[in-house]
Structure 1
């Protein structure tokens, strides 16, 4: 065993754009010559990171030829801190000899703060890490000081190399891009889910079983900052469940769901809004066939609030998990974006490519018990149950969000000469032409139906009966309402404050 100590030297700091990273001195191991199969050698590295440390600190490991497995364990101190002061939290991951360049090929895994140790070898790896040969060269253990106490953050890394034949890496098998659908129909999905391949506590099999129980037709794998789960979903897909592959890209300035990317796509997360790098990775998501969906934009956890703007968004996750005040704020912000699209003449289009209006969606962000998969769920009108069709429906805004499989909505606008439009569409009639808005709801006992326009809430129904089913109609003109969207709200005990959502729709735009 060898030991080393690391302190932060000013010359080790390098800056790219506005973001800083730190590379420490390297750790070397003996060559494999003369090492028996299965021999292990270990190095222990200790250091202290001060408050204000860079977002990422790299510890280079010089790996010789002939290594079969690399194993890393770490600990760090958690001293008491004054009330209202952040304590220590240290994330971890690793890059191989191909380097740490953002968006490069060197990524081999990330577990954030979910695990205290991990291993990588050709035939297997800890969940969150990518199996493959442990090749000779400079590997980099990546430390992410998420928060640092005033006393600093003292850490200890233990690196263990095992020598021997490398073994073979299994060829990945991915879930199919098609399930047996019902043709053009409404399909229910949850596109923000975490397994034990990041900080979740459920296996893919457990998540798939819960998705089926929640009445879902499709889900999207979205583990934090890793694509390692992608090959482990194939056995859970079936004719009744379409499984899309993605990632929750978890930066220090907000999180974004890469929804339905090509299998094996890794999207880097090591940048902040001030670095002006997000557009590059948003374009990578789209080149890989995915959608860019900012997640929980007003969540209150550190680093969770969305700071990159919505110019690259294909949709916005307005509702995340059980309905809370930050979802209400996100809903209001999204509604303001709809008004802006009307003002700027973009409401007749949708999708980021032509700078159109941005649809909303909702997902559970479920991690572990008792988190409910499918609370909420996005209900999408798609031509079939395929990756391409589901993404097209989301991108077009042909969708609504419901708290469970029990809640269903039909929302339409009709005008003169038999013209009609549904969710995400436009009713093209003259500005002074009468328009009838109709909502049919089921599965929402005692909820009220609200109709929201660019002016605000212009209609609120009486509470639905205990059966949960009912209908509401409202009459307007395009001159009075540029768009209309529907909400189902639970009863409230806070006076004028609206109750929690049971469902809401994307808008129908009115006028030519």
Structure 2
């Protein structure tokens, strides 16, 4: 084993097409002339220290000779004590192959963030989160992501081990079908934000599939952090009763976004910030691959989680993420403010809301919450169409169901996400039917704010609320079902909410 210490003073600063990054001295191994025996191994260990204010990504070049069967990497870093309120050390890791580290390029071979301390890859197999394939000759790059750095700096140690020999036989991936049996035109329940052990989750795809079925879900979307490597692991999870969409959670340093229902094998790069003006390019990448662009938990308080890119590229927005918390309340209010602004300006375009569990491990609940979508069938295309058009509501569990609509004029009728085309002074009746929400309060919200509060519902959880208005008085109406308030005058946590019904021509 050979050791090396990175001299940060000799580092080379370069630009990857977005944020500045560091490239360090290369790690070298035997050349072809030395002829390492099949099955033999070589290791190199490098050490270094990153100061506070380091770039988002630090690349360690690895010169890979020919004849390598497997590349294996292990790493560790120090975690010194820090003052209260000061972030400590957190170092993510991934790898790019000989095709390079260009933003949006073809060199990506895997990312585990901070979820693993080691990984391997070869032609026939790879650590979850990494893409199996041959270890070809050339300069590879380990990608270090100093997520946060303590005031003392971040000292790391990386050991790279190469195993020589003939590559194994590649195993072609098998992807889940784009259609499940379904019930024709119906309401379908889904969870579009989930993590398995293919990123930083602790559950297998099979375990998630079982939990999804137990939660009454009809579809789910895979959303591993910054990797598509798990797309081929879901075929056996899917079935006539469960549609599996493939996607990714792109976790930039200025917000996270879900790619919902992309083509199998689609990778979307995450190495940019809002100030780099690169997000539009990758939003288009998601759409070209047949996916929806959905900013996730836009007001989450974790470092780098809050959404800073604006909503001009969004097809929907994740307003409710996991158990209902104050940042979800802020996201709901922000979304409603966007609806109201659109109504004032007379715009017909709007951004639908959705909710997902973001479940990683026990005790995270798959399907809390779940987006309930009106779709013409249980297919990838139909579900995406329902989400993108806002024909959906969000519920905390399979037990909560809503039926929400507006009627008026000569038999006119509009459901969630639709528009009731009547004159501005025409009388309109709004009707909400609720089941599965005992002792909850119903609120009807318009562009003027909350205009009706009703309840609480009886212990059976069932109830009907009707309200009469006109388009002149309410440009849209949406419904909220809330639990009892624990800190009045603040409202209680959501049990369910709908996308709006729009009123008027």
Instruction: Indicate the TM-score class for this superposition, using the shorter chain for normalisation.
Output: over 0.9
Q: Residue by residue, what CA displacement relative to the aligned partner does 1:299-347 show, whole Å, maximum 9, x if unpaired?
A: 0100000000000000000000000000000000000111122233223
- The structure 2 residue matched to 1:405, chosen from 382, 389, 398, is 398
After TM superposition, give the deviation of residue 27 of structure 1 in Å: 0.9
State yes or no: 1:509 paired with 2:505: no
Aligned length: 504
Deviation at 1:283, TM superposition (A): 0.2
Per the TM alignment, residue 37 of structure 1 is displaced from its structure 2 partner at its CA by 1.4
1:177-326 mapped onto 2 (5 Å cutoff):
177-326=178-327
How is 1:41-190 mapped onto 2 (pairs within 5 angstroms)? 41-190=42-191
> How far apart are the structure 2 equivalents of 1:306 and 1:80?
29
Tell me, in whole angstroms, the C-alpha distance in 1 between the residues paired with 2:187 and 2:7: 57
The answer to whether the Cα contact below 8 Å between 1:245 and 1:260 also exists between their aligned partners in 2 is yes
- Relative to the length of structure 1, the TM-score reads 0.97
Question: Displacement of 1:435 after TM fit?
Answer: 0.5
Counterpart of 1:352 in structure 2 is: none
- Structure 2 match to 1:460: 453
How many Å separate the matches in 2 of 1:363 and 1:346? 27
Separation in structure 2 between the aligned mates of residue 508 and residue 199 of structure 1, nearest angstrom: 38
Paired with 2:8 and 2:468, the residues of 1 have a C-alpha distance of 67
SS at match of 2:236: helix
Give the secondary structure class of the aligned counterpart of 1:46.
Answer: strand
Q: Distance in 2 between matches of 1:200 and 1:16?
A: 29
Offset from partner CA, 1:458-506 (integer Å, 9 cap, x none): 0011200000000000010000000000000000132211000000000
Unaligned runs of 5+ in 1: 348-355
Which stretch shifts more, 79-88 or 372-381? 79-88
Quote the Cα distance in structure 2 between the aligned partners of 1:19 and 1:71: 28
Q: CA deviation at 1:144?
A: 0.2
Q: Secondary structure of the residue that 2:196 maps to in structure 1?
A: coil
Q: How well do the aligned residues superpose, as a CA RMSD in angstroms?
A: 0.9
How many Å separate the matches in 2 of 1:400 and 1:385? 17
Residue 332 of structure 1 aligns to a residue in which SS? helix
**1:25 matched to which residue of 2?**
25
User: In structure 2, how many angstroms separate the alpha carbons of the residues matched to 1:388 and 1:246?
Assistant: 14
Cα distance in 1, alignment partners of residues 454 and 299 from structure 2? 29
Give the match's secondary structure for 2:200. Answer: coil
- Aligned residue number for residue 390 of structure 1: 383
Deviation at residue 80 of structure 1 after TM alignment: 0.6
Mapped to 2, the partners of 1:341 and 1:158 lie a distance apart of 55
Q: Is 1:416–2:417 an aligned residue pair?
A: no
TM-superposition CA deviations, 1:329-379 (whole Å, max 9, x none): 0000000111122233223xxxxxxxx200000000000000000000000
Q: How far 1:10 moved relative to its partner? A: 6.6
* TM value normalised by structure 2: 0.99
Q: Give me the whole-angstrom Cα distance separating, in 1, the residues matched to 2:305 and 2:217.
A: 27
1:350 is aligned to none
Match of 1:353 in 2: none
The Cα of 1:36 is off from its aligned counterpart by: 1.5
Gaps of 5+ in 2: none
8 Å CA contact 2:16–2:101 kept in 1: the answer is no
Please, which moves more after superposition, 12-21 or 462-471? 12-21
Taking the aligned partners of 2:455 and 2:185, their CA distance within structure 1 comes to 33
| Separation in structure 1 between the aligned mates of residue 488 and residue 41 of structure 2, nearest angstrom | 67
Tell me how far apart the structure 1 counterparts of residues 431 and 232 of structure 2 sit (CA, whole Å): 44
CA–CA separation in structure 2 for the residues paired with 1:11 and 1:58: 10
The question of whether the paired residues in 2 share the 8 Å contact of 1:7 and 1:49 is answered with: no
Q: Measure, in 2, the Cα distance between the counterparts of 1:374 and 1:227.
A: 22
